[in-house]
Structure 1
Amino acid sequence: MNLNNQKIIVNIDDKEYIDWKMCLKSKLKMLKSCNLEIDSKNLDLSCSDISEIIEIASKYNCKVFGFCSTSSKTIVSSQSLGYKSQFSFENCLDNILNINDKDLTFSRTNFHQGTVRSGEYLDSPGDLLILGDVNPGAKVSAEGNIMIWGRLLGIAHAGSKGNSQATISALQLRPVQLRIAKKVARGPKEKPQLGIAEQARIDSEEIVISPLET
């Protein structure tokens, strides 16, 4: 397959189409063999959605190299499958509050870029998205969900104000301790499967860990 060297950005969140699948197929019909970056805007895409995008693109002789999105779920999903991903802050500037060089706060989600090291503690009044690892000896806490674009090796507490529906997601989930609302669990000892992101949630009054949207 001879692909053009030029990378084409394809927006699949076009309101002229019923859904992103129709949008993607329609736009790929107008393209010859090429390299693609998928701009999904604020669409929440799971790992299975990402895999379907790759499959659709291959049918049009196109190859997807990366994803751009304002959705933390899409970023985690695409990264867990090995694709380059970047956050887009387009149309979000009114909601951004600069805390310092490493932290950005949105109306619902707090972003932290960089490794959380031993002895450090992060606490979020909403959801918390970390672009980096959480090392042993570090602790992160959020009133909502915790999403870690990296390894969770320390302590994480989601739903810190009692939200039992909160979840903890990571590309590698091997913490010292997990907490969701008032439930507490130790991290699993077995080695994680490569390339599969994991999620911890409360099920039947216990914290369970399972693959994230596989």
Structure 2
Amino acid sequence: MYFNNQKTIIDLEDSEYLNWKLCLKNKLKILESSNIEINANNIGLSCTEISEIITIADQYNCKIISFCSTSLKTIVSSQSLGIKSQFTIENSSKNTFKVNDKNSPFSKTHFHQGTVRSGEYLESSGDLLILGDVNPGAKVSAAGNIIIWGRLLGIAHAGSEGNSKATISALQLRPVQLRIAKKVARGPKEKPQLCIAEQARIDSEEIIISPLETT
């Protein structure tokens, strides 16, 4: 099947329709053999729902190539399924900024796009958001939270200035070492569950790892 090189953006939040499924189907009807980017906005989509979107698009001879959303749940789900995604942030004035936008006003959050390789070190005086993997031998540190839209296989230190409320989140959390404030722990050895991002935090004076709440 031939798909043209141009992409068409479908916005799932449309007041003309009762729900996103009806919106998607109606907008796909006028397209043929198109590459589609889904703008989910604030809609939180699970892995099952994203798989359903792909199936619906196939029925209209269209191909889903990427997702764009302000919802962490949608980004986690799409990344877990290996689909390209773009995390955006919406501020109080309703302006939406891509995480790699140099004009973003979120100066306290350091954004890094790409793999952090062995021997490399990233540090942030606020939160740290990484779009990519942190390889073994790499180290990342932040005074605030660390969010990794990829695999954490190296060393991560959140709350580096003593913030015990800081957290470390990743699509796959299998680090050599975790540190939150002054607490230190090693990553779990068992394989991660499919489509479930994880978060490390301090609870009862210990670092625990649990599924990331994205609702």
TM-score by length of structure 1 reads: 0.68
Deviations 1:126-157 (A, max 9, x none): 4x32022223241233523x322332122224
Alignment partner of 1:187 is 2:187 = yes
**2: CA distance, partners of 1:48 / 1:119:** 36
Distance 1:211 1:121, change over 3 A: closer
Q: What is aligned with 1:199?
A: 198
Distance 1:210 1:56, change over 3 A: same
Task: Give how far 1:96 is off.
Answer: 8.6
- Taking the TM superposition and a 5 Å limit, the aligned residue runs for 1:1-214 are 2=1, 4-5=3-4, 7-32=7-32, 34-71=34-71, 73-86=73-86, 91-92=95-96, 98=102, 106=106, 109-117=109-117, 118=119, 120-126=121-127, 128-135=128-135, 136-141=137-142, 143-144=144-145, 146-158=146-158, 161-163=163-165, 166-170=167-171, 172-180=172-180, 184-192=184-192, 196=195, 198-202=197-201, 205=204, 207-210=208-211
Alpha-carbon contact 2:180-2:202 (below 8 Å) kept: no
What SS does the aligned partner of 2:50 have? helix
Distance 1:132 1:97, change over 3 A: closer
Distance 1:108 1:42, change over 3 A: farther
Distance 1:4 1:192, change over 3 A: same
Q: Cα RMSD between the aligned structures?
A: 3.9
Alpha-carbon contact 2:116-2:138 (below 8 Å) kept: no
**2: CA distance, partners of 1:131 / 1:14:** 28
What SS does the aligned partner of 1:40 have? strand
Could you tell me which runs of 5 or more consecutive residues in structure 1 were left unpaired when the two chains were aligned: none
Distance 1:204 1:86, change over 3 A: closer
**2: CA distance, partners of 1:15 / 1:210:** 33
Task: Give how far 1:11 is off.
Answer: 1.4
Moved more, 43-52 or 128-137: 43-52
Distance 1:98 1:173, change over 3 A: same
Alpha-carbon contact 1:134-1:153 (below 8 Å) kept: yes
What SS does the aligned partner of 1:156 have? strand
Deviations 1:152-191 (A, max 9, x none): 1222244662326x45113x32211224567543112345
The one-letter code of the counterpart of 2:57 is: A
The one-letter code of the counterpart of 1:163 is: K
The one-letter code of the counterpart of 2:165 is: N
